[in-house]
Amino acid sequence: MFLYLVKRVLLGLLIVVFAVTLLFCMIHMVPGDPARILLGPRATPEMITTISAQMGLDKPLPVQILKFFGNLLRGDMGMDVITNRPVATIVFGQLPYTLWLIFTAIIGAMLIGIPLGCYSALHRNSLADRITGVISVACITAPAFVVALYSLLIFAVTLKWFPAVGAGDKGQFWDQVNHLVMPAFAIGLSWVGYLSRLVRASMLEVLGDNHIRTARAYGLRENTVVYQYALKLAVLPTVTVIGVGMGFLLSAALFTEIVFARPGIGKLIFDSITTRNYPVVMGSVLISTIMFVISTTLSDLVNAWLDPRIRASL
């Protein structure tokens, strides 16, 4: 188990290093000087040299990459040349917004999706099961930004039930919750469909298992069998799926943050890319890659912890 943990962490680190190097190479390969593009057509040669030096662009590529990792180990992610603030401050200032958004969306999706899937499995092939099935597929296929656009159009612009832009005032809890509802809905909707189908499939599989038949044969109450024995096993795959789905969640968060003009990592990446603010691009992409790697590793470990069979095979 310990060896497995070490292996996973090392692999995760390797992926992060590889990803950052790839991004560096991509920035390096672009035709034109990033500093010149950043400063615009009216920049003087001196300004370009200064900014290049500040971004470390005047050094050879391998040196740039090594320096980036060296600084990173000391907790320094570089400086944003436009606002002159540390990149780490900017990125970690935006991160909580995205984390809350993703967290709310996933919890909401689980609260609706898992019971829905459970109901479908218990009433297999009934009319309700078929309708849930079709609605689930429709939810899964609806792109997050389309859901975001419609909720903005219907609930913010037309009905005016929820605010249209921003994340609410700092310190005002209910205002922030109010601002969270629609973006979380836009991200979570496809997960409701996804989780309900997943739980339905795994529930059907578990209900056919021998130990469930034994439990029934012992005359245990149906509710005990379903909720205490079967459901526990049936929700296992959701843990993995959510962990692996972190990438989708981040992508969906990016779109919804843009549609609702809400602060967050996704909007930060979009804004810094459109203004070609490379230090901030590097920092925010790095953090989202790390988030992704951590969540996949964590979901594997949680799975191993929940399922003794997996634990034994490690």
**Residue 205 is a binding residue for other proteins (CB under 8 A):** yes
Residue in 145, 149, 116, 151 with CA at minimum distance from that of residue 133: 116
HSE-up of residue 268 (Cα within 13 Å, Cβ side): 28
Instruction: Point out which span in 61-69, 106-114, 217-225, 244-252 binds other proteins (CB under 8 A).
Output: 244-252
**Residue 276 is a binding residue for other proteins (CB under 8 A):** yes
Among 110, 293, 301, 304, binds other proteins (CB under 8 A): 293
149 contacts: CB under 8 Å, gap ≥ 6: 259
66 contacts: CB under 8 Å, gap ≥ 6: none
CA–CA separation, 295 and 301 (whole Å): 10
Q: Yes or no: say if 94 and 265 are a contact pair by the CB < 8 Å rule.
A: yes
**Residue 128 is a binding residue for other proteins (CB under 8 A):** no
**Residue 286 is a binding residue for other proteins (CB under 8 A):** no
CB of 245 to other proteins, least distance (A): 10
CA–CA separation, 261 and 230 (whole Å): 43
Provide the 8-state DSSP code for 111. H
Shorter beta-carbon distance to other proteins: residue 1 or 14: 14
Please list every residue from 129 through 168 that binds other proteins, using CB under 8 A: 134, 137-138, 140-143, 145-146, 149-150, 152-153, 157-158
Give me the residues that bind other proteins (CB under 8 A), please. Answer: 11, 14-16, 18-19, 22-23, 26-27, 29-30, 134, 137-138, 140-143, 145-146, 149-150, 152-153, 157-158, 201, 204-205, 246-248, 250-251, 254-255, 258-259, 269-270, 273-274, 276, 281, 285, 288-289, 292-293
